[in-house]
Amino acid sequence: MDRATLDRALLQAHEQADSIALVQLYSLAADQQETAGHVDAACFYLTHAFVFALEAGLPEAAVLNRRLAAHGRVDLLPEDTRPG
């Protein structure tokens, strides 16, 4: 998905308060930035995906937590406190 399309999709997901789409789209943006070697930008998007996943109680929060921890941005949550 190109950047302009992704940005529009993110805005639409925010307008609709669609947590699942927000997690997916922010994760996709993070993947794109990580692939391009932009770790700080990737972690910015991962943080957003992580917060929305936590708020919605989605199991993706555990994976996002691990990805952020791998970049030294957060501590791993104890397994018994992770959604999913």
Q: pLDDT tens, position by position, for the chain (84 residues)?
A: 999 999 999 999 999 999 999 999 999 999 999 999 999 999 999 999 999 999 999 999 999 999 999 999 999 988 756 565
Per-residue b or e along 55-72, where b marks 16 or more CB atoms closer than 10 Å to that residue's CB: eeebebbbbbbebbeeee
Q: How far apart are CA 11 and CA 57, in angstroms?
A: 21
Assign 49 to helix, strand or coil: helix
Distance separating alpha carbons of residues 7 and 16, to the nearest angstrom: 14
* pTM over 0.95, yes/no: no
Note the pLDDT of residue 79.
75
Question: What are the domain boundaries of the chain?
Answer: 3-81
Q: What angle, 0 to 180 degrees and rounded to 10, lies between the N-to-C axes of helices 19-35 and 3-15?
A: 160
